[in-house]
């Protein structure tokens, strides 16, 4: 099987967007995919807020880092949040499953986006307060990620840093640095 044409390989975090809105039917299917994500003890702790209203969109943009202002063109910004109280606590391992599960559900969104001809780009560069205030996110909920979502535009629509990033090749560590078989066989600094 050639991996090149699979969703996994077609998913990418680029920065050039058309402002064309996402049709409702497409949105509904994305939501359904998110809903069916796996979670520890099936707790489904994720809360996704899809922001397409221009005024709300602008407010979320104001909370994004300067280096993420290319996201302004994306018609929808998705804010992923969760609270620790909804965690499936396991005393024996200390993993924050509400965070882990949000990651899984966000991947559902990202791969679902590819399947729908869209591009999602996850971001960690934002400030909690302005986004929480604009969207009415209650105390106790942490924002995990903001994802820009929309149809990809040609790279020529970008300029400056964002264009430089998108022109540089996507890279990965070699397999032997991240995966081993039967034992922890990685070099550790």
Ligand X SMILES: Cc1cc2nc3c(=O)[nH]c(=O)nc-3n(C[C@H](O)[C@H](O)[C@H](O)COP(=O)(O)O)c2cc1C
Chain residues binding ligand X by CB under 6 A are: 12-13, 68, 122-125, 145, 170
Phi, psi of 117 (to 5 degrees): 80, 15
* Nearer residue to ligand X within complex by CB, 13 or 40: 13
> Among 48, 176, 184, which residue's Cα sits nearest to residue 104?
48
Residues pairing with 143 in the sheet: 81
CB of residue 89 vs ligand X: minimum separation in angstroms? 23
Question: How many other C-beta atoms lie within 10 A of the C-beta of residue 146?
Answer: 26
Residues pairing with 119 in the sheet: 150
CB of residue 125 vs ligand X: minimum separation in angstroms? 3
CB of residue 158 vs ligand X: minimum separation in angstroms? 12
CB of residue 148 vs ligand X: minimum separation in angstroms? 9
Task: Please report how the helices 97-115 and 24-35 are oriented relative to each other, as an axis angle in degrees rounded to 10.
Answer: 140
Find the distance separating the first CA and the last CA of the chain, reported in whole Å. 36
């Amino acid at each position: 099987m050639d991996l090149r044409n699979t969703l996994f390989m077609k998913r990418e975090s680029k920065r050039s967007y058309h402002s064309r809105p996402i049709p409702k039917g497409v949105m509904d299917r994305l939501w359904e995919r998110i809903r069916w994500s796996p979670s520890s003890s099936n707790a489904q702790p994720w809360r996704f807020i899809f922001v397409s209203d221009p005024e709300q969109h602008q407010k979320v943009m104001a909370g994004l880092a300067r280096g993420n202002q290319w996201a302004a063109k994306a018609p929808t910004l998705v804010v992923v949040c969760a609270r620790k109280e909804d965690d499936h606590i396991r005393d024996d391992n200390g993993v924050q499953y509400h965070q882990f599960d949000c990651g899984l559900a966000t991947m559902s969104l990202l791969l679902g986006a590819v399947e729908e001809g869209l591009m999602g780009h996850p971001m960690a560069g934002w400030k909690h307060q302005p986004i929480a205030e604009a969207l009415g996110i209650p105390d106790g909920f942490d924002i995990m990620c903001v994802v820009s979502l929309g149809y990809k535009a040609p790279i020529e629509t970008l300029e400056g840093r964002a264009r430089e990033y998108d022109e540089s090749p996507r890279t990965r560590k070699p397999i032997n640095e991240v995966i081993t078989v039967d034992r922890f066989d990685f070099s550790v600094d």
